[in-house]
């Protein structure tokens, strides 16, 4: 890996294809650049967003594309009718193949968002979710790409499965499990954990900034979600506040915290 000569802020998990950015994507990216961001990893959820991200990356140098299948979308054919939001139907196996082609062609920085979800759906979907995650992990391993992983309410199971599959280059996004579980994953498995911008108002995320090994911490927004200010749309520039909080928690300068997170980004995603 070639080392960079300049350090920046980074958002490793954003959803800039969301409809809430449809009217002002350019100013959002400009604000991110002005704030000092050097990269925004935009994560896909299904084929349509995956393709849109690749087009976005072609015209915006800050945008780094990750193709994924969100765990709810991964089981779109067996979802309960009581789900409180719509999920578009698509051929999951064809979507996996599309991800494999893009990964093999060197077009992606990561595989994600992918993983397991036990919050919105029940146990009847877990086996199917795991099959998709296993397929995507296989692609990541063969193409030497890291994974950006969702594990909501199935944190332990997600970790156990990734250990079984031998996946080492993993970033757990917005990890909602116990902090001690994250510590174990960081210290013993060498996995990374990206802390959202709402760490300023979330005690568990704040604690992760202070107790996880500093070389395993990344920053994200999950924008437009998880804003540090209730009721407002989140955006990539807000990672600056997370880095500032990390510095305060550790007694570091903001520059030291920023440089550590940027170094972590370069290591996991093999960029220079």
Which range marks the domain in which residue 233 is found? Answer: 9-269
167 lies in some domain? yes
Lowest-confidence region among 80-89, 138-147, 193-202: 80-89
- Read off the pTM: 0.97
CB 17 within 8 A of CB 53: yes
- Match 């250990």 to its residue by tokens: 163
123 lies in some domain? yes
Report which of 149, 69, 53 is spatially closest to residue 107, judged by C-alpha positions.
53
134 lies in some domain? yes
Q: What whole-number distance in Å separates Cα of residue 70 and Cα of residue 113?
A: 6
Lowest-confidence region among 5-9, 174-178, 210-214: 5-9
Q: What whole-number distance in Å separates Cα of residue 147 and Cα of residue 115?
A: 9
Q: Domain count of the chain?
A: 1
When the pLDDT of each residue in the chain is averaged and rounded to a whole number, the result is: 96
Q: Supply the DSSP string of 42-107, one letter for each residue.
A: EEPSSHHHHHHHHHHHHH-TTEEEEE---HHHHTTTS--TT-SS------HHHHHHHHHHHHHTT-
Q: What whole-number distance in Å separates Cα of residue 43 and Cα of residue 150?
A: 11
| Cα Rg, the chain, nearest whole Å | 17
2 lies in some domain? no
The pLDDT score that the predictor gives to residue 1 is 38
Q: Looking at residues 118-128, what average pLDDT do you find?
A: 97
Parallel, antiparallel or unpaired: strands 192-195 and 63-67: unpaired
The pLDDT score that the predictor gives to residue 4 is 43
Q: Is 210 exposed, middle or buried (0-12, 13-18, 19+ CB in 10 A)?
A: middle
Q: Is the pLDDT of residue 5 over 70?
A: no
Length in residues, the chain = 272
104 lies in some domain? yes
- 3 pLDDT band, cuts 50/70/90, is very low
186 lies in some domain? yes
Residue 67, φ and ψ in degrees, nearest 5: -95, 135
251 lies in some domain? yes
CATH code, domain carrying 228: 3.20.20.140
The pLDDT score that the predictor gives to residue 7 is 87
pLDDT by residue (tens digit) across 212-238?
Answer: 999 999 999 999 999 999 999 999 999
């Amino acid at each position: 890996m070639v080392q960079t000569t300049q350090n920046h802020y980074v958002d490793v998990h954003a959803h800039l294809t969301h409809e809430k950015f449809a009217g002002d994507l350019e100013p959002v990216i400009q604000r991110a650049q002005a704030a000092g961001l050097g990269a925004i990893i935009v994560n896909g959820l299904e084929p349509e967003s995956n393709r849109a991200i690749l087009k976005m990356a072609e015209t915006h140098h800050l945008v780094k594309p990750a193709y994924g299948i969100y765990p709810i979308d991964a089981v779109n054919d067996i979802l309960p009718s009581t789900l409180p939001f719509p999920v578009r139907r698509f051929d999951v196996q064809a979507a996996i193949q599309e991800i494999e082609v893009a990964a093999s062609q060197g077009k992606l920085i990561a595989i994600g968002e992918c993983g397991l979800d036990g919050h919105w759906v029940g146990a009847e979907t877990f086996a199917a979710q795991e099959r998709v995650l296993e397929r995507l992990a296989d692609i990541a391993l063969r193409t030497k790409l890291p994974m950006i992983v969702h594990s909501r309410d199935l944190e332990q199971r997600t970790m156990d499965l990734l250990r079984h599959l031998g996946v080492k280059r993993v970033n757990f996004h917005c990890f909602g499990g116990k902090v001690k579980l994250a510590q174990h994953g960081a210290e013993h498995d060498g996995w990374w954990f990206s802390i959202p911008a709402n760490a300023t108002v979330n005690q568990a995320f704040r604690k992760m900034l202070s107790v996880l090994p500093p070389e395993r911490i990344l920053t994200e927004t999950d924008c437009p979600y998880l804003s540090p200010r209730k009721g407002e749309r989140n955006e990539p520039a807000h990672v600056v506040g997370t880095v500032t909080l990390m510095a305060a928690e550790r007694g570091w300068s903001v520059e030291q915290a920023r440089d550590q997170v940027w170094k972590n980004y370069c290591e996991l995603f093999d960029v220079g």
